[in-house]
Structure 1
């Protein structure tokens, strides 16, 4: 994805930029409580600028090598207000990526995640992918609705799939075939 895509109310989805580390750290600090039930437990160090400067560098290296598509949602002030990522891209006969996303707690319920996931699917097609998969906590109905509105289909239940919020939790798995 080369050009930013405007979503709504001045929110734009764009490729992560080299200098986004501090802004990304600030977004995580601002959303620490909002994201805690849905993500791995985070050490205090995770919220530092330095960690995210390194993470941005690593993500952009993976992007350059075709292994990730790291996107951010930004507002009119260029404040990061969400992320949508295609990670663990596998080429060859699989042409698959994993999808992850979140929206700032101040902006949920406005359809931004649904639209941003659609932008990510378009980017996946541009990068020649065949399939995108995602998983949600069993009780995360909002995230499941985002996926279903973007044409994802449920493919199963993965028991104790990821260690989220301090415990191994079951996830509903989804897939989207991009030729459909």
Structure 2
């Protein structure tokens, strides 16, 4: 796992195209441009601008040998002050499922959120039927804290999400 770069655009576009049908049931509608190198480059540039503003930290999960992207994880909606919170979202290439990659990435982003950014908590949401993602979050120390009815527009409809959080520490904000 490393910080995302504009040079990842082609590899991410390839991985997203390869996983498009598999992820359709958990993803919002995306334009055709999203699945192109140019679309990914524009998206990454926007993510890097958000990083520079302190609102987002995005990472690419890469294959050890080739360095090819096999997923991403984002820590977004970063709020400091007395809240000190952020939300995570991630996806892993279907060929890499079941190897602990998502859990390891979630755990590392939580470490970064706590040790480098100084967040108190991190949250995530999953579709009610996304049991695999719920297992990832449970293994990474997240606890369920609620249900958000009609939370996100996914695969053509407003879908309920289960909300999870992980308290990273109880120190006072700096």
Query: So what's the TM-score if we normalise by structure 1?
Result: 0.90
Residue 111 of structure 1: which of 75, 100, 103 is its match?
A: 100
The alpha carbon displacement at 1:109 in A equals: 1.1
Answer 1 or 2: which has greater helix percent.
2
Instruction: Tell me the residue number matched to 1:168.
Output: 158
Question: 1:122 maps to what in 2?
Answer: 111
Q: Specify the alignment match of 2:121 in structure 1.
A: 131
Partner of 2:28: 40
Q: In the alignment, which residue of structure 2 is the partner of 1:7?
A: none
Q: Which runs of 4+ in 1 moved over 3 A?
A: none
Deviation at 1:98, TM superposition (A): 0.8
Q: What is the 5 A alignment of 1:76-155?
A: 76-125=65-114, 126-155=116-145
SS state of the match for residue 106, structure 1?
helix
Equivalent residue for 1:16? 4
* Superposition CA RMSD, Å: 1.1
Structure 1 regions of 5+ residues with no counterpart? Answer: 1-12
Paired residue for 1:25? 13
Q: 1:43 Cα shift?
A: 2.1
The CA deviation at 1:18 is 2.9
* TM-score using structure 2 length: 0.93
The residue aligned with 2:56 is: 68
1:24 aligned counterpart, secondary structure: helix
Distance 1:112 1:79 in 2: 14
The residue matched to 1:81 in structure 2 has which SS?
A: strand
Matched pairs, number: 168
Deviates more, 1:56-65 or 1:165-174: 56-65
The alpha-carbon deviation at position 112 of structure 1 amounts to 0.9
